[in-house]
Amino acid sequence: MASAVLQSTELTESQFGEIRALVKNTCGISLGDEKMQLVKARLNKRLRKLSLADYDEYINFLRRDRTGNELTAMLDAISTNLTSFFREADHFDYLEQGILKRKIAEAANEKSPKRLRVWSAGCSSGEEPYSIAIVACSSVPNLKSWDAAVLATDLSTRMLERATNGVYSAERVKTVNPQLRSRYFECIQTRPDRLYRVNNTLRSFVHFSRLNLMGDWPMRGPFDVIFCRNVMIYFDKATQTRLVERFWELLAPRGTLFIGHSESLTSLKHRFKYVQPTVYEKAA
Ligand SMILES: C[S@@+](CC[C@H](N)C(=O)[O-])C[C@H]1O[C@@H](n2cnc3c(N)ncnc32)[C@H](O)[C@@H]1O
């Protein structure tokens, strides 16, 4: 209870082991030994907030908490949420030039319905799904007449709240082309700092939901595109393999999977066709 002591609450290796197992079992994230200090720094804040004296008390509290709220708060504190608009820009070029062009041509020939489903799996604070929606809105003529939706999911309730708000600083929207920025964002504050909010056109295509990739997936698909970028990097090989297989199942024939630039499926057993680095297709 003494807050002075809590500033530097020690985390022993066995306590770290227990937290690590809990994190791995619930959300698939594998915390290496080198993450011990980071976990300690981030969870110290939780201990302080809950007025708990040490990590044994914290672990007991986690185990007893039937609401699951503390587990959510712990995962929020531990996970890495780095993201940006149009991050890894070549994926968005491929989305426009490779995928949407084909879908538009197919729809024009009436070979297929005007249907587009994209999933941003691990969407963090929303920059990725909104970038996808910007590309779709700006490149598909009359997208409103399509049955089009971007599903955006994440484990972190804190990030999903930000994503749903859709309000970003001038610094964050810097990576959006100025023409697109003026078309899809409104400036809602100029002082002391400029703030931008995604407009209703964009919002109408993006649906946010909390989803743990390790759990059940309520959606049926099929998806034309799945973005799961910079998420699997925190999972071990067995977890990655299972996840990639589940993505394959949920994709439509010729559906595309994008993964992060520091990720690869090379060492995993999978059924995808390699298109280019970090881009994979489900063979028709
Ligand atoms: C580094 S961010 C990547 C954001 C975005 N995809 C990008 O590339 O810019 C990783 C996100 O994955 C989420 N995440 C980690 N484990 C998850 C899980 N088991 N289920 C759902 N989301 C998870 C984290 O909460 C975090 O927001």
Q: For residue 84, which atom of ligand 1 is closest to its CA?
A: 9
d(CA 142, CA 46) in angstroms, rounded, equals 48
Average pLDDT over residues 253-273: 96
Q: Is the CB of 233 under 6 A from ligand 1?
A: no
Determine the distance separating the centroid of ligand 1 and the alpha carbon of 190, expressed in angstroms: 31
Q: Is the CB of 260 under 6 A from ligand 1?
A: yes
Q: In this predicted structure, what is the pLDDT of residue 4?
A: 44
Q: pLDDT tens-digit profile of 87-107?
A: 999 999 999 999 999 999 999
User: Residue 141, preceding bond cis, omega within 30 degrees?
Assistant: no
Q: In this predicted structure, what is the pLDDT of residue 136?
A: 98
User: Token digits for 264?
Assistant: 């690869």
Q: Report the nearest-CA residue for atom 3 of ligand 1.
A: 230
pLDDT surpassing 80 at residue 8: no
Q: In this predicted structure, what is the pLDDT of residue 7?
A: 57
Q: pLDDT tens-digit profile of 154-209?
A: 999 999 999 999 999 999 999 999 999 999 999 999 999 999 999 999 999 999 99
Residue 166, phi-psi category: left (phi > 0), alpha (psi -120 to 50), beta (remainder):
left
Q: How many CB atoms lie within 10 A of CB 54?
A: 15
Confidence of residue 16 (pLDDT cuts 50, 70, 90): very high
Confidence of residue 9 (pLDDT cuts 50, 70, 90): confident
Pairwise pLDDT comparison (136 vs 45), residue with the higher score: 136
Determine the distance separating the centroid of ligand 1 and the alpha carbon of 113, expressed in angstroms: 31
User: Token digits for 105?
Assistant: 């041509």
Q: Is the CB of 83 under 6 A from ligand 1?
A: yes
Q: Report the nearest-CA residue for atom 7 of ligand 1.
A: 83
Average pLDDT over residues 246-273: 97
Contact 163, 152 (CB under 8 A): yes
C-alpha closest to that of 83 among 24, 118, 132: 132
Q: pLDDT tens-digit profile of 217-249?
A: 999 989 999 999 999 999 999 999 999 999 999
How high is the mean pLDDT of the chain? Answer: 93
Residue recorded with tokens 């023409």: 179
Average pLDDT over residues 139-152: 96
Q: In this predicted structure, what is the pLDDT of residue 284?
A: 79
For a pLDDT cut of 70, what percent of the chain falls above it?
97
Q: Torsion angle of alpha carbons 87, 90, 91, 92, nearest 10°?
A: 80
Q: In this predicted structure, what is the pLDDT of residue 6?
A: 43
Q: Is the CB of 29 under 6 A from ligand 1?
A: yes
Residues tagged active-site: 42, 154
Pairwise pLDDT comparison (67 vs 140), residue with the higher score: 140
CATH numbers and ranges of domains, the chain:
9-78 (1.10.155.10), 90-281 (3.40.50.150)
Q: What is the pTM of this model?
A: 0.93
d(CA 59, CA 11) in angstroms, rounded, equals 11
Q: In this predicted structure, what is the pLDDT of residue 67?
A: 87
